[in-house]
Amino acid sequence: MRIIMLGAPGAGKGTQAKQIADKYQIPHISTGDIFRMNIKEGTELGKKAKTFMDQGALVPDELTVALVVDRIQKEDCKNGFVLDGFPRTIPQAEALDKKLAEMEEKMDYAIDVDVPDENIVNRMGGRRACVNCGSTYHIVSIPTKVEGICDKCGNEVVLRDDDKPETVQKRLKVYHEQTQPLIDYYNSQGILKSVNGVRPMEDVFAEIVRILGA
Ligand code: AP5
Ligand code: MG
């Protein structure tokens, strides 16, 4: 099963994608997580990506597409994968389709997690991410058991650099201009499914499972 998670920054793409990956035993491929790992490790890619990410802008298509095209050809992607945060522009979507066609494959579902802008800013301000394993929490809706400490690995959880309110506004603007057009793109391919993301995360997940089938 090949799945794309669409949705605004903070809509819950990552939260849902992790659960989909666990349930269906397919890799979770988050371009944001890959960039953050490269930043942490100080790689060339990380240095380039950081300048864009810190401003709430998109990393250039050529860097992002090369990364994903390489990743989806790995052995563990044979039975499918869930893409989180990619594609984010029409050229990225077209490049993905082209590559899959060469591999004689195609995407099965594009799931749009729909959350209005006014809910987003609250979610981002309350999000905490583990500095080590990347697990995400929310100080009100999904708190850690011990304040400030990751339930899974015991390291510190922090506010992401790009979750400051002014950067969130910029990311939302970029989302509406560059990423939202993908909803029509996948609708016209007949694979778009929209889910209401303003509900407890278990309910959102239950609806996604209904769409994907047990
Ligand atoms: P990326 O890491 O993809 O960030 P994003 O799209 O802005 O999305 P987020 O990760 O912020 O949100 P999410 O939808 O995953 O929500 P989450 O599940 O965490 O990208 C970061 C940057 O990298 C980009 O700005 C760009 O610069 C660059 N980049 C990445 N991919 C790129 C690409 N393809 N092309 C170019 N540049 C790219 O949930 C958010 C919060 O809400 C959490 O605290 C969570 O606990 C909580 N929450 C989740 N679900 C619920 C719920 N149902 N109810 C209440 N709270 C909930
Ligand atoms: Mg995410």
Residue 213 sits at φ, ψ, to 5 deg, of 90, 150
Q: Active site residue: 50, 88, 123, 128, which one?
A: 88
Instruction: Say whether 71 is catalytic.
Output: no
Q: How far apart are CA 124 and CA 86, in angstroms?
A: 19
Joined together, the tokens standing for residue 63 give: 């860097």
13 labelled catalytic: yes
Q: Which residues contact 173 (CB under 8 A, 6 or more apart)?
A: none
Ligand nearest to the backbone CA of 33 = 1
Ligand 1 atom nearest the C-alpha of 171 is 25
Using a 6 Å CB cutoff, which residues line ligand 1?
7, 9-15, 31-32, 35, 52-53, 56-59, 64, 85-86, 88, 92, 123, 126-127, 136-138, 141-142, 162, 171, 197, 199-201, 204
- Which residues fall inside 5 Å of ion ligand 2, going by CB? 14
Distance 13 CA to ligand 1 centre (A): 6
**128 classed as catalytic:** no
Q: How many CB atoms lie within 10 A of CB 98?
A: 11
The active-site residue, picked from 99, 160, 164, 170, is 160
Q: Note the Cα 26 to chain centre separation in Å.
A: 15
Of the CA atoms within 13 Å of residue 83, those in its CB half-sphere come to 25
Running DSSP on this structure, what letter comes out for residue 146?
B
Per-residue pLDDT of the chain (214 residues; tens, 9 = 90+): 999 999 999 999 999 999 999 999 999 999 999 999 999 999 999 999 999 999 999 999 999 999 999 999 999 999 999 999 999 999 999 999 999 999 999 999 999 999 999 899 888 989 999 999 889 999 998 999 999 999 999 999 999 888 988 899 999 999 999 999 999 999 999 999 999 999 999 999 999 999 999 7
**Does residue 208 sit in helix, strand or coil?**
helix
- The answer to whether residue 88 is catalytic is yes
Q: Which amino acid residue places its CA nearest to atom 26 of ligand 1?
A: 58
Question: Which two structure tokens, joined as six digits, stand for 13?
Answer: 């793409």
Q: What is the pLDDT of residue 121?
A: 87
Which of 6, 28, 35, 166 has most ligand 1 atoms within 8 Å of its beta carbon, as the pocket-test mutant?
35
Token representation of residue 17? 């994608």
User: For residues 40 and 46, is the Cβ–Cβ distance under 8 A?
Assistant: yes
- Give the integer Cα–Cα distance in Å for 203 and 80: 24
Burial class of 198 by CB neighbour count within 10 A (0 to 12, 13 to 18, 19+): middle
Given the CA of residue 136, which atom of ligand 1 is nearest to it?
46
pLDDT for the residue 214: 72
pLDDT at 161: 85
Residue 23's nearest CA partner among 192, 151, 210, 209 is: 209
